[in-house]
Each structure stands twice: as C-alpha cells, then as structure tokens.
Amino acid sequence: MRVAVVGAGNMGANHLRVYSQLQGPQLVGLVEPNGERAEMLARQFDCQVFDRVEDLIGKVDAVTIASPSVTHGEVGSLLLENGIHCLVEKPLAVTEPECLKLIAAAEKGRAVLMVGHIERFNPAVEQLGDFLAGGHKVWALDARRMSAVSSRITDVDVVMDLMIHDLDVANGLISDDVVHVQAQGIDVQGFGHDFVTALVRYAGGTVASFTASRITQNKIRQLHVTADIGFVEADYLRQEMMIYRQSRATDLPQGPGGYVMDLAMDRVYIRHSEPLVREISHFVDAVKKGTKPKTDGAGALRSLRLAWAIQDALKATSA
C-alpha cells in the first residue's frame, strides 16, 4: 500500500513519522508548498517530493490530507474520484456542500474516506465506548478541553479548533439527533471566540455540555458521563478512566439526616498508546479490508453540523 501526505505542517509531519514507522504501508512522498521544508522532511523520512497533488495520481494508493482546511474539498475530491483513499485531517471541509462533495467523490471512486478525529482513537475513549456498549443510556455528558494561548491556529474559532473533538466523541456515544443548542463565548485575541460553553439537548433527552478554551493557563482534556450503569470520568491526557457505581444508601440508626452510601469505584487500567498511531493503523486496515472507518465522512459531517449550530447560537447571543 503506497501512501503520501499532502500538507507537511506540524500534523502532516506527524503523519509522515507514523507512516514511516508502521509495518505495511510504503511512504512514497509528500506535497508541500514550502520547498525548503518539503526537502528537509523528504530527507528525514526517505521519500519523494511531489510538486502538485495531481502528480500523486497513479503513484499512490492512499493519502493523508493535512493541508489547510479550505483546501480539503478541492484536494480530497480530486484524489477520491481517482480511487485514492483519503484520511482527511479534521475538519472534513469548511462548508456543507464541500463535505457532501467529498462523500460523493468517495462513493464515485469507490475509495475509503476517513476523517482524523483523533480523540476517537484515544484508548480512554475507546474503553468508554466499550463500557457503554449494549444499548446503555447516556443521561448527561460534560466535556472540558482547555489550552493556553497559542499562535498555532488563528484562522478558526475555538469551536472548530478544539471543541470539535468533543462534539465528535459525544456524537460517537449518542446516536440521537440534536434538538436544541445554546452557547456563550468570549473573543480575547480577535481571531474568533477563544472561550465557549455550549449546552446541547438530544432528541432522546440526553443533555451535553461542552467547554473549550484556548486562553486557560492549564491543559485539560476531560470527559464526564452520567449513564444508567454508572458515572464515568475519563482523562484523555493521562489515558485514565474511573467508574463509580452506587449500590445502595442506608440511613444511620442514630442522629438526624445521616446515611451510609455504598459506592464502588473502579479504576480502569488502560494500555497507553499514541492515538495517531491507532488512527492511521485503523485507516490502513480499512483500506486493506474495504471496510467503513469509524470516523467516516457522514459522521464527520454530523459533528460539523453541531459545530455550525453552536457558532450560530454564539452569533445570536452576541447580536
């Protein structure tokens, strides 16, 4: 399986690294407009520099698209229509018509379209999905994703930069449609909202709250889930999960208002691994077997629709 990477910024370079380390895929080359960086990475990972995306056709079987978001629609459609499988870094595209075009191009070219929602491949999130499997009801969900000020991304707000990860995780756990969205936020740096809190209600009654920040002087990646079989705390950074279950509460025989609660606490030990390695391995496996990836185009569009609804709610509150 011959692979290449389009866009060799920070994320693209990480994809190059992982492809070069995996057994199976053969890293053929990269496309990167910065010639000096392209040559440096080509030497580092022993691959070829291609001048144009079109030059990859007939030379590779699969591609990671890690170029700027505004290019995803054009680049992805060209490759997919020519039967080249694509792993597109999030977001899938910047508009719904472009997303639909990519999904149609994948069908036309009979190619795998996968979107790089990396938290879905975090071992803690995968364990959480296993714990809730079997039709268990999620009553409430609270996601917090905080980061400090960074010059890494300034072309999108914090909803598309950070919160989109948690929206995708939530949509992976909750299949119901969204029926109501509220949001509040603040813009500190002038590049769009830097701190946003959103409250979402799903058709099945589940309530989810999301907070994302890129102005908080600490790095936090946490998810709390209240479900019919327990309360779960997941920490993405530590790749840890705690499960709490109350078996019974008994009144004390003496004294007013006292009671004893039997609470079982289970620490789930998770085998630590790099989510990007798991993500790319899943992509390679989907291509080889011709199976649908768990972060496919339709699922990514569903998460984007929720992100756009939150952005619309922010506009309504600031109007």
Q: What is the pTM of this model?
A: 0.91
> Angle formed by the axes of helices 10-21 and 35-45, to 10°?
20
Residue recorded with tokens 């309360």: 231
Token pair for 12: 């693209």
Domains in the chain and their CATH numbers? 2-111 (3.40.50.720), 120-273+304-318 (3.30.360.10)
Give pLDDT, residue 258: 60
Distance CA 154, CA 233 (A): 31
Query: How many angstroms separate the CA atoms of 136 and 132, rounded?
Result: 6
Instruction: Return the pLDDT at 82.
Output: 98
* Cα gap 288→18, rounded to integer Å: 17
Q: Tell me, what's the pLDDT at 257?
A: 57
So what's the pLDDT on residue 253? 56
The answer to whether 54 and 42 have CB atoms below 8 angstroms apart is no
Residues 221-269 have pLDDT tens digits of: 999 999 998 999 999 998 899 999 876 555 555 655 565 556 788 888 8
Supply the pLDDT for residue 268: 84
* DSSP-derived pairing of the beta strands 85-89 and 62-65: parallel
Amino acid at 277: V
- Region 47-63: mean pLDDT is 98
| CB-CB neighbours of 249 under 10 Å | 10
| In the predicted structure, residue 287 carries a pLDDT above the cut 80 | yes
The mean predicted confidence, pLDDT, of the chain is 92
Higher-confidence residue of 170 and 152: namely: 170
DSSP track, 203-226: TTS-EEEEEEESS-SS-EEEEEEE
Q: Is the pLDDT of residue 279 over 80?
A: yes
Task: Give the tens place of pLDDT for each residue, 126-141.
Answer: 999 998 887 889 999 9
Tokens 């600031």 locate to: 318
The SS3 assignment for 102 reads: helix
- Residue 251, amino acid: D
278 C-beta neighbours (distance < 10 Å), count: 17
The pairing of strands 220-227 and 178-186 is unpaired
DSSP labels, 167-188? HHHHHHH--SPEEEEEEEEE-S
Q: What are phi and psi of 158, to 5 degrees?
A: -70, -20
CB atoms under 10 Å from CB of 136, counted, come to 12
Can you tell me the mean pLDDT for 67-92?
Answer: 97
Q: Which of 240, 250, 246, 294 is nearest to 272 (CA)?
A: 240
> Whose structure tokens read 């950070």?
162
Residue 38 and residue 35: Cα distance in Å, rounded? Answer: 5
How much is the average pLDDT of 65-87?
97
Tokens 């597109």 locate to: 88
**Rounded Cα–Cα distance for residues 90 and 303 (Å):** 10
| Residues 192-201 pLDDT 10s | 899 999 999 9
pLDDT digits (tens, 9 = 90+) for 173-213: 999 999 999 999 999 988 789 999 999 999 999 999 999 99
